[in-house]
Amino acid sequence: MHSFLTVIGSLATLSSITLAAPLKARQDDPQCIDGLKKIFMPEMHNIYIYEDVPEFPSTSTILNVMNGSSSNSVQDQVAVWSNIPSTATQCSLGWAVTEDRSFSVYDNGLIRFFELSGVPPAGTNITAETIAPFMEEGAKNASIDFTFWAEQTGAHTHGGGLVDCKSEMAFYLTKDMVSGGPGSVTLEQNAQNGLFLAIDC
């Protein structure tokens, strides 16, 4: 009887530790649902492209890609997912929003992504210059369309395309000016909103 109560006691302690764990730790290991894990909140690096202004590195939680009609308003981004388990053999990009989100699309919302062949070594600032060696011809690329979706209330989830599984995966995101046109996409990312990497589990 006594040891039974001790077990109950330690279970209660364990579960309160689990509940007290920081939110971030739980998002890092999302649940496996129907054989898929969706990993939200990639590390986002802004790539500002302003004429005659030297590049400065910056990161963000917001998916924010634009190319307006003037050359002064271009922003690309690099999204990085790290520590992908080697057991993942099927990987794809997608995006989702819940009812409660901060999301806007101005004009055309077509974004093209290119899978980078790697990421610069830790400690290197991510800029157009440092990622250039990782942009290879023939890279996996596809467009994801956010146009008109900001006005659609409620939760919705969208597939984006298959990518190659690697332990560190990085994608260059840019406004698609060929199939799309000028515009911008702004989406605040958290555990349920924004880009996700779906892996088999």
What does the binding site for ligand NAG look like in residue numbers (CB under 6 A)?
Answer: 49, 56-57, 67, 74, 114, 124-125, 137-139, 141, 174, 177
Task: Return the number of the residue (39 or 119) whose C-beta is nearest ligand NAG.
Answer: 119
E strand or H helix at 27, and its extent?
helix 23-28
Nearer to ligand NAG, 80 or 201 (CB): 80
Minimum Å gap between C-beta 146 and ligand NAG is: 16
Beta strands in the chain (DSSP E): 36-40, 43-49, 58-60, 62-67, 74-81, 91-97, 103-107, 110-115, 141-145, 156-163, 169-175, 183-188, 194-200
- CB closer to ligand NAG out of 137 and 151: 137
| Nearest distance, CB of residue 4 and ligand NAG, angstroms | 58
Q: Hey, what amino acid is at 190?
A: N
Whichever of 126 and 199 has its CB closer to ligand NAG, that residue is 126
